[in-house]
Amino acid sequence: MNPIRVIAVDDEPASLQALRAMLADRKDVEIIREISQPSEAIQEIKKQKPDVLFLDIQMPGMSGFQLIEQIKSEDMPIVVFVTAYDRYAVKAFDAHALDYILKPYGHNRLEETLTRVKEHLARKEQYHQYKRIEQLIESMRSETSNPPRFLVKKKDKVIHVKPEDIDWIEASGNYVRLKVRGEGFLLRERISVIEKKLPKRNFIRVHRSMIVNLDRIKELVPIFQRDFTLVLNDGTKIKLGRTYAEEFFKLMKAL
Same structural domain for residues 113 and 159?
no
- Summarised one tens digit per residue, pLDDT across range 91-150 is 678 767 788 888 888 889 899 999 999 988 888 877 778 788 888 877 766 655 556 778
Measured distance CA(22)–CA(111) in Å, rounded = 10
Which pLDDT score, from 0 to 100, does residue 150 have? 85
Measured distance CA(98)–CA(82) in Å, rounded = 11
Which pLDDT score, from 0 to 100, does residue 58 have? 83
Measured distance CA(89)–CA(17) in Å, rounded = 24
User: Domain boundary at 98, 120, 144, which?
Assistant: 144
Which pLDDT score, from 0 to 100, does residue 144 have? 56
pTM of the predicted model as reported, rounded to 2 decimal places: 0.60
Q: Which of 101, 97, 86 is nearest to 119 (CA)?
A: 97
Q: Let me know if 92 is exposed, middle or buried by CB neighbors in 10 A (0-12, 13-18, 19+).
A: buried
Domain hosting 118: range is 4-144
Average pLDDT over residues 231-239: 92
Q: Torsion over CA of 250, 99, 163 and 208, rounded to 10 degrees?
A: -40
- Summarised one tens digit per residue, pLDDT across range 86-104 is 665 676 787 677 888 888 8
Which pLDDT score, from 0 to 100, does residue 118 have? 92
Given a cut of 70, is residue 20 above it in pLDDT?
yes
Please, are residues 58 and 15 in contact by the beta-carbon 8 Å criterion?
no
Query: For residues 174-199, b (16+ Cβ closer than 10 Å) or e, as one string?
Result: eebebbbeeeebebebebeebbeebe
Q: Which amino acid would we find at residue 197?
A: K
Contacts of 229 (CB under 8 A, 6+ apart): 220, 221, 223, 237, 238, 239, 240
- Residue 125 maps to which CATH number? 3.40.50.2300
- Summarised one tens digit per residue, pLDDT across range 153-193 is 888 788 888 888 999 999 988 899 999 988 999 988 889 88
Which helix (DSSP H) or strand (DSSP E) does residue 44 occupy?
helix 38-48
User: Domain boundary at 144, 178, 207, which?
Assistant: 144
Same structural domain for residues 217 and 232?
yes
Chain-centroid distance of CA 153 in Å reads 33
| HSE-up (13 A, CA, CB side) for residue 239 | 9
Domain count, the chain: 2
The residue that leads in pLDDT, 34 or 190, is 34
- Summarised one tens digit per residue, pLDDT across range 210-223 is 999 988 999 989 88
Please, are residues 201 and 164 in contact by the beta-carbon 8 Å criterion?
no
Same structural domain for residues 67 and 180?
no
DSSP state letters, 64-97: HHHHHHTS-GGG--EEEEEES--HHHHHHHHHTT
Same structural domain for residues 9 and 135?
yes
Calculate the average pLDDT of the chain: 86
User: Domain boundary at 113, 128, 144, which?
Assistant: 144
Please, are residues 168 and 179 in contact by the beta-carbon 8 Å criterion?
yes
Which pLDDT score, from 0 to 100, does residue 142 have? 61
Crossing angle of helices 87-95 and 126-145, in 10° steps, is: 140
Question: What percent of the chain has a predicted confidence (pLDDT) above 70?
Answer: 91
Phi then psi for residue 222, to 5 deg, are -70, 140
Same structural domain for residues 137 and 173?
no
Average pLDDT over residues 35-60: 91
- Residue 207 maps to which CATH number? 2.40.50.1020
